[in-house]
Every structure is written in C-alpha cells, then in structure tokens.
Structure 1
Amino acid sequence: MTGVIRGTLAACLIAIASLAHGADPICKGTLYLTLDTGNMRHAEAIAQILGKHQVKATFFVAQEKTLRGDMALDPSWAEFWRARVAEGHAFGSHTWRHGSFRKDDTGGKVNYRLPDGSQTQLDVEQICTELKKPDIRFAELTGRKLDPLWRAPGGRTTPLTLKAAEACGYRHVGWAPAGFLGDELPSEISPNEILLKRALANLKGGDILMAHLGIWSRKDPFAPMLDPLIGSLKSKGFCFATIPTQ
C-alpha cells in the first residue's frame, strides 16, 4: 500500500487525537508536517524556520549519508538532534539503511533494495531490527527513544513489512496527496513557486505534509519555501501538530 493511501487512511485517527497533541480548537484545521532525514543539507535552516513559526514537526530518521560526509545518526549530529528534542518535536523511524521494501516472497521474507542498488531479503525479525536500530541510536544520542511511528522510504510498504512493524511496536505514517510537497522533484519541471502555490491551494485540515532535510538531486532546493508556506498556512487559520502516537 502506498504512502499516500496510508496517509489518507490515517487522517481519521489523527483528527480524533489532535486536541491531545497540541492542536488548537479554534483552528480552521490542523496540519501535520513531517520531515525525513535526506542528506541533512538544510537541517539547521529548517529548524530555524520551525522555531520562527513555533511549529512542531515529526522527524523520521535514518542513517543516511549527509552532505558533510558523515551519517545523519552519527555522534556528530547529536547536538542537532538534542536541540530538536528540547524543542518538543516528535520522532519516528525511517529504517536504518534507508532501503526500499519491494515485494514479499512466498518464504516469509521481503525483498529490500539498498541505496547502492543491491538487494537483500529480510524476515520478520530482521524487519524489526531495521526499524529499531534508529530508535536505539537516537536514544544513545539524545536520551529519548523514538515515538512508536515509522515511515518506509518512498512510502513503499508491503503486507509483511506492515505486519512485522506493528508486531514490534511501530505504526506506519504516510502522507496526504496534497501533502507531497515535491522537494524531491526536478526543479526545472517543478519550480518552487509552482510547488508552493499548489500546496497552498490544495492542503486541507488533517493532511500530513512530507518534505526532507535535504535532497541530493534538486538544483533549486525547496527547503527555504517552508518559511512562506508555513506562514501563509497559519495566516489562513491552520494550526500544526505532531503525529499522534495512538
């Protein structure tokens, strides 16, 4: 099931739980901004934007290579993550190796494509390990465990991965169709102005938004657009909250 569909199905649960997770009852609607690690190029700038607008986001963390040459969950990033914890954001697993769950086989395993293009197979226990390793490392870096949430890279899941994740305590979080902010699309085809206009026109209360802390391929980064996007959405009466954990 795709991330978009899963995000749509989750909207009802989120709406019910929103008041208990920071949503303002006078809001026109509540939006849920989520940020995946990516290459971390704009991590500090995005953190400043969130602070400026007093918005809490849900970060999905993986051990991804960063623009600095290290990895997103290396000790060199501990200060960054501790600061986000102190600010009250939420955090979920984005898998350890940031691979893609492709297809379940008949032997109770899932085909898992790694970022270098190689493939391996994971059984239920190994799927759980893939989700728990970021949780363990995040706690080592910050003293805080992840929330019981996860997002599959690319939103790609399979029946086996969803079942295994739920068995070891993680609920999958996708995103709404309008919540796909497009920061991983080619900027030549999808310029920032178009992406910003589309999001402002189509987002509605209960939607989960998805962007990254840095994308390798996009020439004109979308990350700075989060400033006018959040500001415009708040001026339209929307509030922001973190993803409910139940």
Structure 2
Amino acid sequence: MCRVNRAAVRKAGALALAVLLAAQSGLAAAASCDKPVYLTLDTGHMGVAPLIAEVLTREQVKVTFFLANEKTLDGGSSLDDQWAPWWKARAAEGHVFGSHTFDHVYWRADKPGGRFVMKPSAGPQNGKTLEWTAADYCQELKRSATRFHEMTGATMAPLFRAPGGKTSPALLAAAKACGFAHVPWSAAGFLGDELPSDKYPNAQLLQKALRDIQPGDILLAHLGIWSRQDPWAPAVLAPLITGLKARGMCFATLREHPQYRSLFKADEAVAK
C-alpha cells in the first residue's frame, strides 16, 4: 500500500503557493509602476549577498540576477551546493535570473571563421586565453541555466550579460542563435561598486546615482567586489532604493522591460 507523505505534500504546496504569490505581487507592482528602474545584480564574491537579500525583502524590491560560478570569500563558488538554498529562496521570492556565463568568461576578440578569443576569470581555465566557436559560447551560457535549474527547480530567463559588458556583433548573434538576448546597463545605471572606494566613496556614488538615474534605466551592481575595500552594499543599496522611491520611481524586473518582455511571453508560450 502506498502511503502519502503528508508533510512533504504540505511543504511542496506551501512552496508552490509562495512562488505564485510572489509572481502575482510582482505583476501587481509592475501594473502600478509608471516610472520603473531595473536593478540588476551580477554575481561576485557573495560576501554581501545575505545583506542584499535582506534589503530587497524589506523594501519589497524585485531584481534581475545574472549568474556565474565565481570564487567566493569562503573559498567556494557562487553556484556551489552551499549557495543553492540561497538561490532557491530568491527564486521563490519572484526575482528574475539570467546567465553571466558559467566561468565568468570575457570576450576578447573575434577571429575568422566565426570564432572568438575568450578569457575566463573563474573555473579551471581561469586566466587562460581560449579560442571558442559559437557553439562553445552557447554551451557556456547554458551551463549557468542548467545549474540554476538544478539548484532551484526554476527556469532561467533567455537573457545574459557578458562579463564586463564586452561583446561584438558576432558574439551577440551567436548568443541570439541559441536563445539568449544580451542585457547591458544604462550609463547612469553604472552604480560604481567596482570602483576603488578611496577614490569613489559610497557617499559620492549614492549622490551621483540619486542625481542621474532616470525612469527606464537599467542599473548594475554586484553581490560583492573583491577590489573594493568599503563595500557598496548594503551601505548604498538601501538609501538608493528609498531615495529613488522618494523621486517617484519604482523597481521592476526585466520581465517588465519593453525591450525584453516579449522574450518572456514567447518562453511561456513554448512552456504551455
């Protein structure tokens, strides 16, 4: 006789309900959001990731994360088993996720015959100069998507951000051919967390962001930057969110962005 594990069923039902409510909340927010900005967060050393999650939850802000398997402060990596519960929790909250290449691989140059010069900054080939085909690059984008699904059970969006934002028309075409659209950031949306804190202190970065950011901008920050001594988050993140809200702006994911929303609709249609 097959016995039903009622506790497991209740737990699965609760998780499904949480995901549904998070999605409905995000849609409701988007519907009333007439001056949106789109905060995006790339992976990093993850040292500030828990603090960032606390700020986003408290402020009821949904963002778009771009995932690569980067080295972390504890000697692991940002997509390892230790971080899997953290990513699963973010997925349940209704955030959106895209690929940042698995080994944080920089494009360096195009080569004849549709090949590319690439340089990973993580993983076993860190620092090596490689020559890849378009198929190699496509596989690298999908590695992050596969790992995300393994960790969360959710599906990654058909979006990617090239490390450093470095691309070429040929690279973008290769990514598009395997279903990924590139997401850069707005000029005013460069939040400066990669800059040295002695020359660009947090107060200065916050002031500039609050002055320059306009509705429609895509904002960029990271889940921890090795080279910055005075961490940008949550010191700047929290007052940035409240400050932009005070200016009448609201936060949305790239699911609601006019340039990318059709990709989500197409993806949902295929799923059905």
Is 1:228 aligned to residue 234 of structure 2? no
Query: What pairs with 1:74-89 in structure 2 (closer than 5 Å)?
Result: 74-89=80-95
> What CA deviation, in whole Å up to 9, does each residue of 1:8-32 have, x standing for no partner?
xxxxxxxxxxx968424464x1000
Letter in 2 for 1:44: P
Distance 2:115 2:201 in 1: 40
Letter in 1 for 2:86: F
How many residues get paired? 227
1:3 corresponds to which residue?
none
Q: Which runs of 5+ in 1 are unaligned?
A: 1-18
1:178 corresponds to which residue?
188
Distance 2:177 2:104 in 1: 20
Indicate if the aligned counterparts of 1:102 and 1:158 stay in contact, CA closer than 8 A. Answer: no
Aligned pair partner of 1:52 in 58, 66, 87: 58
**TM-score, with normalisation over the residues of structure 1?**
0.89
Is 1:241 aligned to residue 247 of structure 2? no
2:69 corresponds to which residue?
63
Aligned pair partner of 1:97 in 103, 109, 112: 103
**TM-score, with normalisation over the residues of structure 2?**
0.81
> What CA deviation, in whole Å up to 9, does each residue of 1:94-148 have, x standing for no partner?
0011021011111211100121322101101101001000000110110012100
Letter in 2 for 1:144: A
SS in 2 for 1:221: coil
Indicate if the aligned counterparts of 1:64 and 1:73 stay in contact, CA closer than 8 A. Answer: yes
Letter in 2 for 1:228: P
Is 1:200 aligned to residue 210 of structure 2? yes
SS in 2 for 1:175: coil
Q: Which runs of 5+ in 2 are unaligned?
A: 1-25, 256-260, 263-272
1:7 corresponds to which residue?
none
> What CA deviation, in whole Å up to 9, does each residue of 1:172-203 have, x standing for no partner?
00100000000000001100001000000000
Structure 1 residues 48 and 21: alpha-carbon distance in aligned structure 2, compared to 1, 3 A threshold:
same
2:112 corresponds to which residue?
106
SS in 1 for 2:83: helix
Deviation at 1:72, TM superposition (A): 0.8
Q: Which has the larger radius of gyration?
A: 2
Distance 2:161 2:150 in 1: 21
2:167 corresponds to which residue?
157
Q: CA RMSD in A?
A: 1.4
Deviation at 1:205, TM superposition (A): 0.5
Where relative contact order (Cα < 8 A, 6+ residues apart) is larger, the structure is: 1
Identity of aligned residues (%): 52
Distance 2:183 2:240 in 1: 22
Distance 1:26 1:95 in 2: 31
2:147 corresponds to which residue?
137
